[in-house]
């Protein structure tokens, strides 16, 4: 067989392997981060059944009577605080607001007119009228004097003199009036007038604010971030004051409410970390914190309500933990004992039992290591660690990063964790399979 033919056959075989995806992978040891199994004293735990509850729940009603004209949200939809949930018809009150705002503008400008005082042109105009009145007064006074002299001589009648005297008196009064008007223009408006105008403006502003407040009540809003769970009305429906319109819940954080026997309650402390299992989420490692121990028992069962708070995981607007889910919490209510603990990140879920990958050094070459999966049972949480039991020993190295894709017996290159297990907000950790 020629060399050309051999090369052609080899190339064809390679293409076939590539096409079928059966070309052997060339992989080296996996690089992983490890930490040691530690032994500490922990309080023995007891498991209690609980229910997931929203952190906040509100049934939002209508503050006014009206007809629903908009309902932009649907059940299950995520909403933000101050977001409109529904709107009622406001056409009539909008007209009232428009008229009130017009009156408000008029009163505001009237006050500004008083504050600005008389314009120079107006003062000049009044001064011109004053001069004209003065000239007329001087003329009429002089004319009265002449007629008085003529009356003494008998050349004018008493009626003519009376008319001239009346005209002179009128001219004097007109002059006094023009002078007073000019002085008022120069001095400006009285302080009392300014106060009155300001008071009228305040009254009208209050009327406008009241109408705006009424209009705001025609828009029903949410007071916090959350999810719509129930719509109690539809577009076109008439709602009365106090009628429920929409129900919302906040589950960015959730509480697990459980009932603890009176013999266990004295062992609980606020702020204690707690392991939580949710039956619907078997592949999640969840921890929370005790935030409430209600000091009032159910007299029939002699159990006390206890709340454990957890941060939820929101993905594309969908919460991982939902209100009403069944939960089990392991509370530290027993005696103190020694236990083995590992970081939560060491757990690999998805199988029948949680698993950790233990590093096994090569006896012949200490530089080489492989991993071995070990099934464990979980106990109580202790800070950032969690109790485990199984075929595992203290000081053994377990993988905390890079364990998602490990295979039993796979060679690894280990790197120690730089710091202690990082603190995380109590809640769901990343699922590892």
**Residue 285 confidence (pLDDT):** 80
293 burial via Cβ count (<10 Å: 0-12, 13-18, 19+): middle
Task: For residues 69 and 158, state if they share a domain.
Answer: no
Domain count, the chain: 2
Residue 407 is classified by DSSP as: -
pLDDT tens, 284-305? 888 899 999 999 998 888 999 9
* Rounded Cα gap, residues 325 and 306, in angstroms: 16
Q: Tell me if 408 is assigned to some domain.
A: no
Q: Name the domain boundary from 170, 197, 213.
A: 213
**Is the same domain home to 109 and 205?**
yes
Task: State which residues form the domain around 237.
Answer: 60-90+217-248
Residue 14 parent element (H or E)? helix 3-20
Residue 176 lies in a domain: yes
Contact partners, residue 158, CB within 8 Å, separation at least 6:
151
Q: Is residue 181 included in any domain, yes or no? A: yes
319-363: pLDDT as tens digits: 999 999 999 898 888 777 888 899 888 888 877 788 889 998 887
User: Residue 237's domain is classified under what CATH number?
Assistant: 2.40.50.100
Q: How many CB atoms lie within 10 A of CB 17?
A: 12
172 and 127 inside one domain: yes
Kindly state whether residue 160 falls inside one of the protein's structural domains. Answer: yes
In a domain? residue 79? yes
Which residue intervals of 154-255 are DSSP H helices?
Answer: 158-187, 191-217
Do 177 and 80 have their domain in common? no
149 plus 209 within the same structural domain: yes
Residue 5 lies in a domain: no
Within this chain, do residues 103 and 203 fall inside the same structural domain, yes or no?
Answer: yes
Q: Could you tell me if 75 and 123 lie in one domain? A: no
Q: How confident is the model at residue 3 (pLDDT cuts 50, 70, 90)?
A: very low
In a domain, residue 344? The reply is no
Please state whether beta strands 226-231 and 78-79 pair in parallel, antiparallel, or not at all (unpaired).
Answer: antiparallel
- Model confidence, pTM: 0.59
In a domain, 147, yes or no: yes
Neighbours of 10 (CB within 10 A): 10
Q: Look at residue 270 in the predicted model and tell me its pLDDT.
A: 93
Same domain, 108 and 206: yes
Q: For residue 120, how many other CB atoms are within 10 A of its CB?
A: 9
85 and 118 both lie in a single domain: no
């Amino acid at each position: 067989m020629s060399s050309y033919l051999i090369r052609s056959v080899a190339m064809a075989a390679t293409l076939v392997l590539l096409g079928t995806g059966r070309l052997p992978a060339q992989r080296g040891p996996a690089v992983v981060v490890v930490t040691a199994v530690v032994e500490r004293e922990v309080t023995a735990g007891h498991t209690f059944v609980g229910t997931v509850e929203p952190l906040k729940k509100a049934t939002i009603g209508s503050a006014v009577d009206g007809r629903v004209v908009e309902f932009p949200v649907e059940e299950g939809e995520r909403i933000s605080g101050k977001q409109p949930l529904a709107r009622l018809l406001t056409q009539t009150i909008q007209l009232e607001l428009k008229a009130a705002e017009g009156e408000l503008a008029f009163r505001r400008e009237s006050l500004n007119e008083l504050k600005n005082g008389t314009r120079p042109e107006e003062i000049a105009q009044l001064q011109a009228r004053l001069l004209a009145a003065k000239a007329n007064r001087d003329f009429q006074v002089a004319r009265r004097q002449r007629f008085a002299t003529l009356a003494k001589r008998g050349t004018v009648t008493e009626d003519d003199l009376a008319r001239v005297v009346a005209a002179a008196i009128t001219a004097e009064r007109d002059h006094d009036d023009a002078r007073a008007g000019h002085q008022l223009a120069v001095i400006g408006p009285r302080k009392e007038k300014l106060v009155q105008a300001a008071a009228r403006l305040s009254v009208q502003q209050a009327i406008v604010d009241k109408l705006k407040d009424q209009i705001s009540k025609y828009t029903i809003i949410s007071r916090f971030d959350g999810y719509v769970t129930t719509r109690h009305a539809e577009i076109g429906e008439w709602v009365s004051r106090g009628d429920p319109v929409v129900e919302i819940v906040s589950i960015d954080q959730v509480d697990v409410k459980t009932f603890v026997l009176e013999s266990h309650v004295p062992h609980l402390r606020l702020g204690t970390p707690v392991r939580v299992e949710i039956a619907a989420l078997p592949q999640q490692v969840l921890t929370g914190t005790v935030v409430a121990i209600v000091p009032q028992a159910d007299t029939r069962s002699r159990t006390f309500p206890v709340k454990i708070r957890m941060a939820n995981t929101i993905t594309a607007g969908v919460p991982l933990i939902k209100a009403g889910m069944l939960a089990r919490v392991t509370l530290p209510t027993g005696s103190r004992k020694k236990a083995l603990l590992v970081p939560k990140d060491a757990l690999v879920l998805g199988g029948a039992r949680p698993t950790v990958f233990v590093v096994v050094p090569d006896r012949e070459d200490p530089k080489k290591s492989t991993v071995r999966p070990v099934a464990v049972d979980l106990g109580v949480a202790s800070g950032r660690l969690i109790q485990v039991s199984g075929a595992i020993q203290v000081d053994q190295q377990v993988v905390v990063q890079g364990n998602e894709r490990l295979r039993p017996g796979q060679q690894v290159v280990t790197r120690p964790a730089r710091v202690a297990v990082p603190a995380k907000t109590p809640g769901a950790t990343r699922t590892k399979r």
